[in-house]
Structure 1
Amino acid sequence: MTEAEQTTGTPGSGAAADAPGGVKGGRRIGALLVVAAFAYLLDLGSKLLVVAKLEHHDAIEVFGTWLQFEVIRNRGAAFGIGEAMTIVFTVIASAVIVVIARIARKLYSLPWAIALGLLLGGALGNLTDRLFRSPGGFQGGVVDFIAPAHFAVFNLADSAIVCGGFLIVILSFRGLDPDGTVHTD
């Protein structure tokens, strides 16, 4: 049994073989939804707070000029790329949500549930801005406020998406699939 199988309780490991279908525990949709809700609510709450307290004010220095909080409305993607393509980014975020919902039907891996939950929460956070922030109708500007020196301004949804994506890359390299199986190719 590999370390990944021991850590995640994948099918075919230990008591898993005794369970119906050879799967220990069951699907991890609950974990995915809890992580997604946490990421989404944290993002939404932070955006509501910074819009209420910081918008139309000077940037707040958190660590001198190395890290500041500065509210901007980003209608594009990272680094403000594609500001005229807001509707395209809305469609992409919607597609990501649909793909995650399809994968969740066969989700038995807790690490994958966490990764997909981060992606889902982040996608929902930015999609909420695109749908409901001015001017609305799939063209709203995403609220970004974390401004490191010499880097793009971003938000907590962006952080969740990047962390979820990074975790998916690690899980893929380790051979762990969303269904909990481990492959060695």
Structure 2
Amino acid sequence: MSARPTLRPATAGILIAILAVTVLAVDQFTKYLAITFLPPEELVPVLGDAFGLYLIRNSGAAFSFGAGFTWIFTIALAAVAIVIVVTATRVRSRAWAVVLGLLLGGVAGNLGDRLFREPGFGVGHVVDFVSTPWMWFWTTPAIYNVADCFIVTMMISIAVLVLTGRRLDGTREKRAEPDAVVAPADDAAPRD
């Protein structure tokens, strides 16, 4: 079985862009729906206690961590987006193109909130609305959005790609062959 051919640079770039724009659009559309139809800070149960909708504006990172440092998260998201775009120019692997495209879409979704939502440019609050109370972080239940889902799952995917030796250029890192086990030489001649 032959290996899949690698992507041409333009094809990889187009794939990354299409996936990023798709995730960004879905993220922003679901946030629009949440803002339009959900009551603020009131749980709307969907699947009992396991899953619900709870609209909040998050000035911090995950679980509202670092709420007083919104501008730092804006800079971090912008830096990650730039790194992905620069890295995308070297991608020839389908798997890396998919992962980076979906990650870029998630990053762009939350970056858009930081840049353009209230209370102002660069310090906007991210719209979160998916509630899974069974996922706890210290004393706070998990409330997140579509962009967060893609960011977390794609970061895990990047770890898997790295651990399995898949390179950006579509090649695979060769595993080192273990040294052959050599039996110790027996100096004594065989006895009859």
Question: What TM-score, normalized by structure 2, do the two folds share?
Answer: 0.82
Note if contact 1:109-1:180 (Cα within 8 Å) is conserved in structure 2: yes
- Which structure features the higher share of helix residues? 1
Q: Which has the higher strand share?
A: 2
- Among residues 47, 52, 56, which one is paired with 2:40 in the alignment? 56
1:157 aligns with 2:141: no
Runs of 5+ in structure 2 lacking a partner? Answer: 136-141, 176-192
* Whole-Å separation in 2 of the counterparts to 1:183 and 1:49: 44
Structure 2 match to 1:105:
89
Offset, 1:26: 0.6
Q: Select 2:76's aligned residue among 68, 92, 98.
A: 92
Q: Percent identity?
A: 37
From the CA coordinates, give the structure whose radius of gyration is larger. 2
Which residue in 2 is equivalent to 1:183?
173
Deviation track 1:57-91 (CA, whole Å, cap 9, x = no partner) reads: 73211101211101001000011100011000000
The correspondence for 2:158, drawn from 159, 168, 181, is: 168
In structure 1, what is the Cα distance between the partners aligned to 2:107 and 2:39? 23
Whether 2:123 is the aligned partner of 1:139: answer yes
Q: CA RMSD in A?
A: 1.5
Aligned to 1:31: 15
Query: What CA deviation, in whole Å up to 9, does each residue of 1:22-81 have, x standing for no partner?
Result: xx4412111111111111110000000110110437321110121110100100001110
CA deviation string 1:99-119 (max 9, x = no partner): 011111111011101111111
2:118 counterpart of 1:128? no
The 3-state SS of whatever aligns with 1:149 is: strand
Structure 1 Cα separation of the partners of residues 61 and 105 of structure 2 = 17
Q: Tell me how far apart the structure 2 counterparts of residues 108 and 25 of structure 1 sit (CA, whole Å).
A: 5
